[in-house]
Structure 1
């Protein structure tokens, strides 16, 4: 084909090819977990953390079925990572892997502490009877908390599969339509005869085909980014202050806790992203409670929680059971436990409903827990696909 025809094709295709694919992708299906500010005062449907990457901002509303009228428990959380460092949000930093150039095969190296960047902060406004006295009045509670993932680890094939997907995506993006259309006899004939209508039609056809291929690949990339790690270690903490008699605010609780989670994929093909899991978690909490009981008198005390959770996830539904045992230091007999079944369902991209039913903590006797809530997420989280680590 003469040079002028190549130049003509290049000029005609430039506008179309620039529209094929952006350098960023939206991080879909990010979680909106129950916040630490709720968990400290045992309002959350579940106390044990679930492995998750949180959205930029979330709002939750919870209400006990025993409550009357308008819901009285509200919380908001935000993740500073999504508000800062936009130039460092590529997909490989997102999952915490990089190439080890010192290794002869340039193998993938996991950065186990990379999830610390997703530390989130939460605040909550709650009405609940938190004082074990003879009065049944609820207190106004303000709580603030944080949640961090210390360590996480994926399947050994995870980074390799992701690199292959992004590499293929990048190659398709950079490939010139000229390579495809220049071998089309109809296109060559149209350029020779100056049939601009046929040229435009063929260009639109090739552009549509390429966009379809890119969209399919992008979906596969997004699906893999939502995979849960095989192992995750979380820590969290919170502080709560109580409004006493609507005039005085006093320290109510302060606590720190940790969760170890194992996620076993229920679809075992290593070549495809996982969406179904069996998860097992172990949990421990240390807490100072300014309003515990000792021989019938309200007093401050340390307490310790131990518990576990078994859950199943079949996107968009997850359900399971958790049990937490609590013991206060002031009284050998001051023990209680919380055993609940729970379910979470994503009804839309950024809307979750969740609930739990079972036995709640009680210093004298167990109490029925029946709680329902809705959680909303806000944010347009973007990840860069342009910074592809080099192949070995």
Structure 2
């Protein structure tokens, strides 16, 4: 009789505790849909300086100037090949780039790989309508642009790798714990087994299963919170190419550029007990080198190179971030195209995969007081999952 009850109890565990095993895989939450590099090359983006973020598998964006008429005419699509090409090995350690190292009898050491974010290289394309030729005619050109963005170096704070390992190790141990061994030490359960009271044994097993699920959920949330923690330092490199539709009959090279961004993030609530570190002060520096086939020299259209230098200061209080950026542009052909872009911006995460952003200020151009007012919506798509149960082997 005791054996029968134990078998029935085991079946009940499989049914009532199936959530335990499902939690070994979880969605990678709060991934972003970064502002398109294809947009940024032609200055049709709320901000030209990017924030550190891990991109989703796929994203769509719509952007419109407040001075535009009718339906928005600027669209972008972007994808991250990593989420499509590498379906295996997506555990939390591979995601962040955490490895463990062991040297003989020495204690194992957990470290983050500063180059691990290279795998999240993001590709974007954009279809734009904007006046990109600096002449007296205000006709807009059709523009097709393609770009990329990659994170070269990403560095987290001290102890990040050890904390992640400790959380996942505890989570793994709880997932593998045998509920039947736990309930067997309960006197009420033993008495119910001896008396053949199947209702009581089932109730006790459900209680222990619920406690374990609750503990697992709490640990899972702590792991997820650490996964979205921003790095202390990040260096990004982006590039793009744009071709212009001139007079609706000819497509010609318009712009090509490469730029770099360095960002420092200072967490604002790291010392609060039990705080989830989602609030940051971010300081960024930016530089771009660009070839422009439609610059102006002595009143004539000419090709030229230009250099951008700028910075940004922003505050993030999840789910909203806001701040200001200023960029100075200098063309090689002369002083008449020297200008600056100074804007205030705001980004808001409306839902898990839905973001709105906007900016207002002064834009680049022949007229130094040219007004910029943009509003955009970006939507992310993808079912990005990470394995929460695997510990990496020591190399």
Q: TM-score band (shorter)?
A: over 0.9
Distance 1:12 1:72 in 2: 58
Match among 279, 283, 288 for residue 282 of structure 2 = 279
Distance 2:95 2:351 in 1: 24
1:199 is paired with a residue whose SS is helix
Distance 2:252 2:128 in 1: 15
Query: Which string of whole-angstrom CA distances, capped at 9 and with x for unpartnered residues, describes residues 211-247 of structure 1?
Result: 1111111111111100000000000000000111111
The aligned residue for residue 100 of structure 1 is 101
The aligned residue for residue 224 of structure 1 is 226
The aligned residue for residue 21 of structure 1 is 21
Q: Summarize the alignment of residues 77-226 of structure 1 with structure 2, pairs less than 5 Å apart.
A: 77-102=78-103, 104-226=106-228
Structure 1 segments unaligned to the other structure (5+ residues): none
* C-alpha deviation, 1:188, in angstroms: 1.8
Query: Which string of whole-angstrom CA distances, capped at 9 and with x for unpartnered residues, describes residues 148-174 of structure 1?
Result: 000000011111111111111111111
Query: Which string of whole-angstrom CA distances, capped at 9 and with x for unpartnered residues, describes residues 77-113 of structure 1?
Result: 0000011222211111111120122383321222111
The aligned residue for residue 234 of structure 1 is 236
* C-alpha deviation, 1:264, in angstroms: 0.6
The aligned residue for residue 69 of structure 1 is 70
The aligned residue for residue 325 of structure 1 is 328
Structure 2 segments unaligned to the other structure (5+ residues): none
Native 8 Å contact 1:337 1:366 kept in 2: no
Distance 1:188 1:8 in 2: 14
Distance 2:337 2:10 in 1: 79
Distance 1:341 1:387 in 2: 43
Distance 2:217 2:328 in 1: 48
Native 8 Å contact 1:36 1:145 kept in 2: yes
* C-alpha deviation, 1:332, in angstroms: 3.5
Q: Summarize the alignment of residues 349-388 of structure 1 with structure 2, pairs less than 5 Å apart.
A: 349-388=352-391
TM-score, scaled to structure 2: 0.95
* C-alpha deviation, 1:5, in angstroms: 5.9
2:88 is paired with a residue whose SS is helix
Match among 291, 298, 302 for residue 301 of structure 2 = 298
Distance 2:14 2:194 in 1: 19
Native 8 Å contact 1:21 1:214 kept in 2: no
* C-alpha deviation, 1:308, in angstroms: 0.3
The aligned residue for residue 60 of structure 1 is 61
Query: Which string of whole-angstrom CA distances, capped at 9 and with x for unpartnered residues, describes residues 57-80 of structure 1?
Result: 011101000001101110010000
* C-alpha deviation, 1:8, in angstroms: 5.4
TM-score, scaled to structure 1: 0.96
Deviates more, 1:172-181 or 1:301-310: 172-181
The aligned residue for residue 247 of structure 2 is 245
1:134 is paired with a residue whose SS is coil
The aligned residue for residue 346 of structure 1 is 349
Distance 1:68 1:200 in 2: 66
Native 8 Å contact 1:17 1:177 kept in 2: no
Report the count of equivalent residues.
392
Native 8 Å contact 1:77 1:120 kept in 2: yes
Native 8 Å contact 1:127 1:138 kept in 2: yes
Native 8 Å contact 2:229 2:278 kept in 1: yes
Native 8 Å contact 2:41 2:240 kept in 1: yes
* C-alpha deviation, 1:11, in angstroms: 4.6
Distance 1:199 1:268 in 2: 44
Distance 1:298 1:382 in 2: 51
* C-alpha deviation, 1:190, in angstroms: 2.0
